[in-house]
A and B are shown apart, each in its own frame.
Chain A
Amino acid sequence: MAVASSLALLATACGSGDDGSSSGGGSSAGALEGRGPITLAGGKDTSGNLQNQLNAWNAQHPNEKVELKELPEDADAQRQQMVQNAQNKSDAFSVLNMDVVWTSEFAANQWITQIPEDKVPDLGKLIPATVDTAKYRDKLYGVPITSDGGLLYYRKDLLTKAGIAEAPKTWDEMLADCQKVAALPEAKGMSCYAGQFEKYEGLTVNFSEAVNSAGGVIVDKDGKPNVNTPEALAGLQELTNGFKTGAIPKAAITYKEEESRRAFQEGKLLFLRNWPYVYAKAEATDGSSKVAGKFAVAPLPGKTGPGVSSLGGHDYAISAFAKNKATAIDFINFMASEARQKANIEKTSQAPTWASLYDDPTLTKQFPYLAPLKASILAAQPRPKVVKYGDVTAAIQQAAYDALSGKTQPQQALSDLQTKLQSLITQ
């Protein structure tokens, strides 16, 4: 009886909420209106830099203050919170700090607002590949704030000792270098190479890099899956052979970014594929890194020449359900400005999206990896830009993981993946 009455009560309270058929707020461009307080939803950083940036904005705009809505550190949890808010048409989040791979899904669902390109004056100064991550069907839905690209960390000391002057440009060179170094007494117990091969987003990144670096694609320019090709197979085999021959340590199947950084810092790896953040950590001289001063970075190697990195980074987008969108776009432009991005990399070492900053002398001095990183990002490919990204990346991880762990043959894995992707991507 009590249940029944409480339900009746609820029915009236929620009657308006559950019809998903009302029209979304933000499909039309140019509707960036309204000024006043806004919020920024995303993770923060320990350095407190983000709050400093917000304080700078708030000091200049006392009537249009930005409040940081802190989300969990975990990227999936961040997306989950944003999706939940969007599904309930909540205006709690105005500006969304989005991973670059979420753009298509959020845009197709009209959870984020299309931004006319003339509203972003600096757009032309940003690295084109990063701007592309914020586009869905050639329309802009966000502004890239940070970027990220894969780098090859290598033990310069050991290479020099083995008489190798330069970082390898191809996989074959890298494996040959490993052979030479293996003859050194210092190389005892070391493995040649590792990336991130645990079954998670990092595997999609590493698999895409292998495929792209061998001249293959996962999804072609027209958005059609095309992964069952000899090129893609060559890329995948580079990884599976690495596991088979022991060039890649067995434990690498459990590596995420941090585990692989740990192995490199402990001197267990000659080569490591990882993001720029590792540089400062591995260079630490407080005894936590055994490789401080002994390593250098280079662009990723490829099949016949330099490799192709997957593109990381974050874009700021405006929630379709936000109030004060005019303030929001101004704030985004503020955060995307050269000065702000420079301040950001100085504090957090997160890669900027302004092309000019990669050549800034003070920055290149502070971050010696900026030159190879620029090369990496300029040549980088985005991960598949698809609406059902969650399903697509899960399918990629499944295929790659099964091939790497020896459960299926690479050829079989790719043909399975192709079938799966075709059913997921219906354009």
Chain B
Amino acid sequence: MTATAPVAERPAKEPKQSKRPQRFNEGTGRLAAILLSPTLLVLGLVVVFPIIMALRESLFTSGTKLDANGFIVKGSTFVGLQNYTDIFKGDTGHRFWNAAFNTTFFTVVCVVLETILGVAMALIMHKAFKGRGVVRASILVPWAIPTVVSALLWKWIFQADGIANTLLGTQILWSTEGWQSKASVIIADTWKTAPFIGLLVLAGLQTIPAEVYEAAKVDGASVWKTFTRITLPLVKPALLVAVLFRILDTLRIFDLPFVLVGAHKDSVETLSMLAYDEAFNTRYGPAAAYATLLFIYVAVVAYAFVKILGADVIGEARAKKPGGGGKAKKRRATAPEISAAAATNTGMGA
């Protein structure tokens, strides 16, 4: 940590970037490496290694032939990219594109709904009123229920003569193919994970100094204007991180459609379910190929998301890249506001 000490000598008002390149030297890189190594070590052990194993696995196939005694011939054969090309052939290809569509559809619809609901929840939780604790607790409940249990709960609710149909006075067969099964997954997923976005956004709201709002009030800004011009920009980093991780999660959605509607249903089959199905039938090569394709898809979506919206999330680092400056400037427009307000804030505190 000592390497950061020189920062103290820096005059507070100086523009942030100007002197850094000189001040941070080789030592900073080494320090950063030391400080980051626990994180990278854990991730390397438990995630990167299995991913590499899976990538390797996806190039092999095994267990497809029986010998004369009816035993499966052991050992795996290298097949190159065949597991990948097979995915796009014939029926399998149809199934793959259908699953890709479902995955995308669930992600777009769920994340949009969850974001709207989550932000609304955060705004409500942030308001000071009597019984706020209870409200916060109840918003937390859906997210706190184990997925194993909540999927069963929704399955029960959506039974042919379950409570959903009783209350709605309908006879909808929720688990059959069609819009209704998609709807049931979306309802259950939104219910469960909107609080996740709510919590993260709430944390963002809590770091906004009240003075900022006071100033807006003095200027006579409307509620909507205050929300779009002040609240939203200031919680943007927290919101973007929350949405980004929801996108990553929803693209890999598995449990809910699997438990709620069931396997092999065209209406809700997702890419994760295809990977699971192959692995379940001990075709680990194709399973790994599906997982890898999904992985690539998720990576592309995440990259696009960060590229388009996420300058705030990894802003500073990006700012130094040539061409990234424009976005960084946009971000910094809000930064002085916070700095100024926060400075007055702590000043009052001390």
- Listed in ascending order, the chain A residues whose CB lies under 8 Å from chain B are 1-3, 6-7, 10, 18, 20-24, 27, 76, 80, 83, 87, 107-110, 136-137, 198-200, 250-251, 253-255, 259, 262-263, 387-388, 390-391, 394, 397-398, 405, 407, 426-427
Contact = CB atoms under 8 A, between A and B. Distances in A.
Contacts of A388: 281
B160 A390 contact: no
Contacts of B173: 250-251, 253-254
A394 B283 CA distance: 15
28 contacts: A2-B33, A3-B41, A3-B43, A3-B44, A6-B40, A6-B45, A7-B44, A7-B48, A10-B45, A20-B75, A21-B76, A24-B74, A107-B70, A109-B72, A199-B262, A200-B263, A250-B171, A251-B160, A251-B171, A253-B173, A254-B174, A254-B176, A262-B161, A263-B161, A388-B281, A391-B281, A394-B263, A394-B277
Interface residues of B, number: 39
B89 interface: no
A397 B264 contact: yes
Contacts of B62: 20
A2 B264 contact: no
Contacts of A18: 53
Contacts of B63: 109
Given A254-B160, A259-B160, A200 B48 contact: no
A246 B265 CA distance: 24
B147 to A, nearest CB: 14
A407 B265 CA distance: 13
B282 interface: yes
B160 A108 contact: no
Contacts of A3: 40-41, 43-44, 48
Contact of B280 (A7, A80, A108, A262): A80
Given A1-B33, A2-B41, A387-B66, 6 more contacts: A2-B40, A7-B44, A87-B282, A109-B282, A110-B71, A427-B66
A15 B41 CA distance: 19
A383 B197 CA distance: 47
Nearest to B276: A80
Nearest to A18: B53
Contacts of B159: 254, 259
A23 B67 CA distance: 14
Contacts, number: 99
A415 to B, nearest CB: 15
A198 B160 CA distance: 11
B303 interface: no
Nearest to B259: A74
Contacts of A427: 66
B53 A23 contact: no
Given A2-B41, A21-B75, A198-B262, A10 B49 contact: yes
B52 interface: yes
- Top 9 nearest A-B pairs (CB, nearest first) are A21-B75, A251-B160, A3-B44, A6-B44, A2-B40, A2-B37, A390-B281, A137-B70, A254-B160
B55 to A, nearest CB: 13
B69 interface: yes
Contacts of A87: 282
B86 interface: no
A173 B282 CA distance: 45
Nearest to A388: B281
Contacts of A394: 263-264, 277
Given A7-B49, A199-B262, A108 B70 contact: yes
Contacts of B72: 108-110, 387
Interface centre among B66, B76, B176 (most CB of A within 10 A): B176
A20 B76 contact: yes
Contacts of A263: 161
Interface in B237-285: 262-265, 277, 280-282
Nearest to B91: A420
B190 interface: no
Interface centre among B36, B43, B69, B281 (most CB of A within 10 A): B281
Interface in B151-184: 159-161, 171, 173-177
Contact of B49 (A6, A107, A262, A407): A6
Nearest to B33: A1
B49 A199 contact: no
Nearest to A21: B75
A108 B63 CA distance: 10
Contact of A254 (B45, B49, B175): B175
Nearest to B76: A20
Interface string B69-97: 11110111000000000000000000000
A22 B175 CA distance: 44
Contacts of A391: 281
B69 A137 contact: yes
Contacts of B171: 250-251
Nearest to A390: B281
A70 to B, nearest CB: 16
B305 to A, nearest CB: 24
A87 B63 CA distance: 12
Nearest to A83: B282
Given A2-B40, A80-B280, A198-B262, A108 B71 contact: yes
B40 A200 contact: no
Nearest to A268: B161
A398 B70 CA distance: 27
Contacts of A76: 280
Contacts of A23: 74
A13 to B, nearest CB: 10
A263 B159 CA distance: 12
B276 to A, nearest CB: 10
Given A199-B265, A251-B173, A7 B36 contact: no
Contacts of B175: 198, 254
Contacts of A108: 66, 70-72
